[in-house]
Amino acid sequence: MTHIQKRNPQQTRDRLVRAALDLFTTRGYHASTTPEIAARAGVAEGTIYRHFESKQHLLNEIYRAAVRLLLKAPQASVSGSCRERLAAVAEQWRDVAARDPALIKLVFFTDLEGLLDAKSREIKTELTQALTRIIASGKAAGEVRAGAADVWAEVWLALTVLTLGRIAAREWPATAPAVVQVRDAALEALRVREAPPDVRTL
């Protein structure tokens, strides 16, 4: 009667993560049911609970993994001018959006109000903080227009996310003219310049 599939447990977990990610980002969290998730992963419903404490824990684990992936970009980009560093982050994120749109949708386009736990909320703020640090250093170097660094971070993020959303939705290819238009608009908004010649070296 019972047909037990033997599989590498990591494999099962991965299938569940993928199924949940896809459903959460298309239907939303509440509209994605555990039977659906299990069916899409090709496992029994109970199997979900051998790998995750609850549906909400499943969401949070996926969410944190996604944010952690996005955090790599600003964390890796430590050298170069502010402009170059922001460009590097945007480029890597566009790659993610093209390769795995669901990740982008989960982090930036899914309403997770009241579903994220403390750890998830914390890592989420790290994202804006990482951007704020890049811009703050750019300000110190005179590359950025006057204004609060965290606000500039939000401005840049809002416009970058606009692009990511279209790429993730396959509405814009990653190389569309609109992508360049928005990217330049973001830099223009902050008036991020190349580092000016260092006066002291003269």
Site residues, DNA (CB under 7 A): 1-9, 11-12, 30-35, 43-51, 54-56
Work out how close the CB of 15 gets to DNA at its nearest, in angstroms, rounded to a whole number: 9
Work out how close the CB of 128 gets to a copy of itself at its nearest, in angstroms, rounded to a whole number: 12
- Toward a copy of itself, which CB reaches closer, 113 or 198? 113
**Residue environment code for 191-202, b if the CB has 16+ CB neighbours within 10 A, otherwise e:** ebbeeeeeeeee
* Eight-state DSSP code of residue 29: T
Amino acid identity of 9?
P
Work out how close the CB of 121 gets to DNA at its nearest, in angstroms, rounded to a whole number: 19
- Toward DNA, which CB reaches closer, 46 or 197? 46
CB 153 within 8 A of CB 128: yes
Measure Cα distances from 131 to 64, 78, 140 in Å: 18, 11, 14
Q: Binds 2, which of DNA, a copy of itself, none (CB < 5 to 8 A, cut-off by type)? A: DNA
Residue 66: count of CB within 10 angstroms of its CB: 22
Question: What are the two backbone dihedrals, phi and then psi, of residue 78, each rounded to the nearest 5 degrees?
Answer: -105, -20
Work out how close the CB of 9 gets to DNA at its nearest, in angstroms, rounded to a whole number: 4
Query: Which chain residues interact with a copy of itself by CB under 8 A?
Result: 26-31, 109-111, 113-114, 147-148, 151-152, 154-155, 158-159, 161-162, 177-178, 181-182, 185-186, 188-191
Work out how close the CB of 113 gets to DNA at its nearest, in angstroms, rounded to a whole number: 15
- Toward a copy of itself, which CB reaches closer, 75 or 181? 181
Residues contacting residue 174 through CB under 8 Å, at least 6 positions apart: 94, 95, 97, 98, 167
Q: Binds 151, which of DNA, a copy of itself, none (CB < 5 to 8 A, cut-off by type)? A: a copy of itself
